[in-house]
A = this chain, B = another copy of it.
């Protein structure tokens, strides 16, 4: 293909003395770095690329074309909520006044911005049923950290010092146990029953005087709603623990049921999932946290408050919130991401918010039903799908030697991003599929057709699948070699 399918490295464009000179600032008289004490100066220039502006734009434009993305492909990546990222949100966040505002600017130069932040806090409270919200955590895992840190601070404030166990279900996302560790806790797994719900007996067995709390998503990473959540809450609360809600799956229940009403004490929201801010090829995110009344004093700073007189909005910091777990970010959070989420929520409004959960759920249940019709096996066929569901390819693996990875890679060939594979670890050869509410029935039908084709190929021509992808810029990559012969930065040939 001569539409860009191979692109050399930016360093390959570099030639000594070349440069995008229009970008170089005029250097005022006397700008030579005389102020730098002897011995502190850089002796050799860093070998950054020396390229023209055209080289740079062309290179990264061509590179971009090697990506799948929401804007180009259906992207049913379970647990990731890859929905449409409205362009208006980006446009609003990049308005020059917002983009140019310094984080330490006086609040008098930020009442417009702060009004958005305050209202975002309020909307997130309303939609989750929590009592307080802090916007500063920078992603989901960072929100988890804040949540568990608040739980620890709560116990500590009560002098309840032994609680250093965090319970996580078997199928939990990796960030949950990793967060427990970062908060100095031990992660203890609790089993999940055959129906996908937490095994209450196992839970009762594991809770106790050392229980700091439990981290749950609901619907769980198995794509089903934890039906006995009230019982779970009762068991944990009675044992003296608190409940943490991993909000990665909030999209499923938006407008339908609220974590606060289910009994959760702390929660993070992935605004980059539920509230449609872009994932940017890896980030940024925003992991706002919400809390029940008992955790209110411990929220991380800063928080926006609305007062009675001008300037109406102001920041609350350590001074105003002395029990806070403190500051988790250099400044107030990923404000640009928060602005995007704010715009999105204002566009949805009350009615739209409810429909998100409804149509995300409709799409998942439809896709699950259709895929079962064409011969795939659902992990929990007796359960309602939430906004996502799991297929297991155990049978295909046994019968034809075709793995979930093979199916995923072949889907790429057919123009669809792959679902999440091999997560949750509980289900063997699994695909976790999340279509989101912004995709149409026609797109889902096209995906079903591709999956049906793959199932035929699995029977008739499994080699085709093992070798996939065939039509992408690269075929399957050698990850083992990547990890063994670490090549992590560019070295000049012979250098």
Contact = CB atoms under 8 A, between A and B. Distances in A.
A4 interface: yes
Contacts of A15: 440, 442
A68 B3 CA distance: 7
A62 interface: yes
Interface in A320-377: 347
Interface stretch (A51-59, A112-120, A310-318): A51-59
A238 interface: no
A471 interface: yes
Contacts of A28: none
A52 B438 contact: yes
A2 B469 contact: yes
Give the most central of A3, A55, A57, A58: most B CB within 10 Å: A3
Interface in A1-34: 1-5, 13, 15, 18, 22
Contacts of A415: 2, 4
Contacts of A86: 22, 53
A440 B55 contact: yes
Interface in A394-439: 412-416, 438-439
A84 interface: yes
Contact of A72 (B13, B65, B88): B65
Contacts of A473: 3
B5 A3 contact: yes
A272 to B, nearest CB: 17
A72 to B, nearest CB: 6
Give the most central of A4, A22, A72, A84: most B CB within 10 Å: A72
A469 B471 CA distance: 18
B52 A72 contact: no
A87 interface: yes
A413 B86 CA distance: 35
Given A15-B440, A18-B440, A473-B3, A61 B53 contact: no
B66 A72 contact: no
A469 B18 CA distance: 34
21 contacts: A1-B5, A1-B472, A2-B413, A2-B416, A2-B471, A2-B472, A3-B65, A3-B72, A3-B472, A3-B473, A13-B440, A22-B88, A52-B84, A52-B438, A52-B440, A53-B84, A54-B84, A58-B72, A58-B73, A61-B71, A62-B72
Interface of A: 1-5, 13, 15, 18, 22, 52-55, 57-58, 61-62, 65-66, 68, 70-73, 84, 86-88, 347, 412-416, 438-440, 442, 469, 471-473
